[in-house]
Amino acid sequence: MNELLIDIGSTYFKVCSKEGISQHFRDFKKNIYDDLNTKCADILSKYAKEDTYICSSANGGLSTLIIGVTNSFSLKYAKNIAYNSGINIIDTVLYGKIQESKIPSETLDVVIIVGGIDSVGGFFDEKLFAYLKKLTYSNIVYVGSSKDAHYLSENIANLKILSNIITDKLKLNEGELKEYLTNLYQEDIVGKEDIKHLYDITSNQIYSTPYIVNRSLPFIDAEFDVVNPFIVVDIGGATTDIHYSRDLVRDNMLTESEYDRLVFKKLGVYKSRETLIHAAKNNEFVYELLAYLNVTENILDEQSEKALRILMQLSIFLVLCKVSRLNSVYVTLKLEQLKSIVLTGGITKVLTHEECESIISFFYRKIMNLHHIPTIVLDSNYDIWTLGMVQQHHQRSETCR
């Protein structure tokens, strides 16, 4: 291995070189660049900038709001592309109900507007402009009918217009929007004071960690004993990500992607601890789950090793709930058909296989009404991340030839 691979997380960073993989808890009194140099100076000095590859989830991802004309096409297609680009969807607005829709209180990284096929227009009017004036956002993009593009660009400042994500044959056209969102993520990374100095040690683009992990999925059976269909659940300090085969999706959407992903921005066990606890307390099954784990709700207020382990188990349960038939907000997966669950991220350094199996057994028995569970695989050495970084490097090398 002639490359140096680095992943910057919200709590840890890990380094993969020919000497192996090392993991380091971040010193939050230092910026990432200085912390990395302090702990890994000897390794960094052995690799040129062009041979150093970095991905990061430390900025927590981008937040978006999507405005669409229909649930069955506009919103469904735009949500799929946003999720698969590592974007955190704060809310969606069905245009017919825009006047009664709530206004997000936070600043949005990007607003996506979509609706109609190119042969039909006239979907939007003054109600859209009035709603947008109430929002606070940094970027806005239109990916709907070309017939409405000029009208919207005249009335919305700094509107980015891309090709329609819905073809006239009602198929998904994801290329331009996915590239736009990926580039926004890149710009967000560069703009972060903590991260932009990393370009002093690499001349390559810094990608999002969920993107890199997703790159590994077609090759994962070379490293692990997994059976299709499978999901990968990556639980870290700030986010929980789920990567899945499209064979598990309950719709007939036609895409170029064999695998998709969801990023849950507020389900981490360190940086997003409070929002994880809030989500747990608002889940109707959690108190029964805590009793099953032989603890009380007081554990959620503790700062201890045991409390951390419980939070990690809760994060597995909550993310499975979010893609189950209990929740129609996200993608609903055919979890009853699942053969393997691969767990990766910081969670694998803390939880045992038995602790993971216990929580997944509870989920399948209580939520799915099934007594058999998928095979559980723990990626305790971050092989999935390493594989994804190598695949991305090889693809870029082939493209440059």
CATH number at residue 89: 3.40.50.10870
DSSP state letter for 132:
H
More confident site: 10 or 353: 353
- Residue 231: per-residue pLDDT: 92
Rounded distance between C-alpha atoms, residue 23 and residue 237, angstroms? 14
Is 384 domain-assigned?
Answer: no
Average pLDDT taken over every residue of the chain: 85
Q: What is the mean pLDDT of residues 39-45?
A: 91
Residue 63, phi then psi, degrees to nearest 5? -100, 140
Assigned domain for 262 exists: yes
Are residues 235 and 333 located together in one domain of the fold?
A: yes
Question: The CATH number of the domain where 31 resides is what?
Answer: 3.30.420
The full DSSP string for 331-362 is PPB-GGG--EEEEESGGGGT--HHHHHHHHHH
Residue found under tokens 């554990």: 299
Check whether 400 has a pLDDT greater than 50.
no
Lowest mean pLDDT among 249-253, 329-333, 343-347: 249-253
Provide the H-helix boundaries in 64-218: 76-84, 126-133, 149-155, 175-191, 193-196, 209-216
Decide: 185 and 210 in contact? Cβ < 8 Å: no
Q: Are 39 and 115 members of one domain?
A: no
Chain center to CA of 399 = 26
Structural domain includes residue 392: no
Reported as type and span, the H/E element at residue 35 is helix 32-44
Examine the domain organization and report whether 140 and 88 are in the same domain. yes
Q: Is-contact 142 164, C-beta < 8 A? A: no
Q: For residue 241, give the nearest of 311, 346, 329 by alpha carbon.
A: 346
φ, ψ at 82 (rounded to 5°): -65, -50
Give dist(CA 91, CA 246) in Å, integer.
23
What is the domain range of residue 374? 225-378
| 383 located within any domain | no
Q: pTM value?
A: 0.74
Q: What is the CATH number of the domain that holds 312?
A: 3.30.420.40
Confidence of residue 401 (pLDDT cuts 50, 70, 90): very low
- The CA–CA distances, whole Å, from 314 to 64, 179, 238, 286, 348 equal 26, 34, 15, 8, 14
Share of the chain above pLDDT 70, in %: 89
**Statement to judge: residues 160 and 199 lie in one domain:** no
Residue 270 sits in the same domain as residue 205 = no
- Please indicate, yes or no, whether residues 115 and 205 belong to a single structural domain of this protein: no
Contact 339, 228 (CB under 8 A): yes
Q: How far is CA 359 from CA 228, 290, 317, in A?
A: 21, 10, 7
Residue 400 lies in a domain: no
Q: Of 133, 156, 143, which Cα lies nearest the Cα of 85?
A: 143
Please check the confidence at residue 129 and state whether its pLDDT lies above 60.
yes
Both 371 and 271 in one domain: the answer is: yes
More confident residue, 207 or 99: 99
Question: How many Cβ atoms sit within 10 Å of the Cβ of residue 104?
Answer: 17
Encode pLDDT of 67-85 as tens digits.
999 988 889 889 888 877 7
Q: Domain check: are 264 and 290 in the same one?
A: yes
- Both 111 and 132 in one domain: the answer is yes
| pLDDT higher than 80, residue 331 | no
Q: Is the pLDDT of residue 399 over 70?
A: no
Higher-scoring residue by pLDDT: 195, 52: 52
Residue 99 domain-assigned?
Answer: yes
Nearest to 40 by CA among 5, 10, 68: 5
Q: How many domains does the chain have?
A: 3
Same domain, 70 and 192: no
The mean pLDDT of 315-341, rounded to a whole number, is 85
Q: Residue 397 domain-assigned? A: no
In terms of domains, do 348 and 239 share one?
yes
Give residue 154's pLDDT: 95
Selected residue with higher pLDDT from 244 and 163:
163
The reply to whether 237 and 264 lie within a common domain is yes
The more confidently predicted of residues 57 and 352 is 352
Percentage of the chain exceeding pLDDT 90: 36
Decide if 323 contacts 331 (C-beta within 8 A): yes
pLDDT of residue 389: 83
Cα(193)–Cα(195) distance, integer angstroms: 6
Amino acid making up residue 237: G
Please tell me which residue, 57 or 36, carries the higher pLDDT value: 36
What mean pLDDT is predicted for residues 179-183? 85
| 30 in any annotated domain | yes
Q: Over 50: is that where the pLDDT of 320 sits?
A: yes
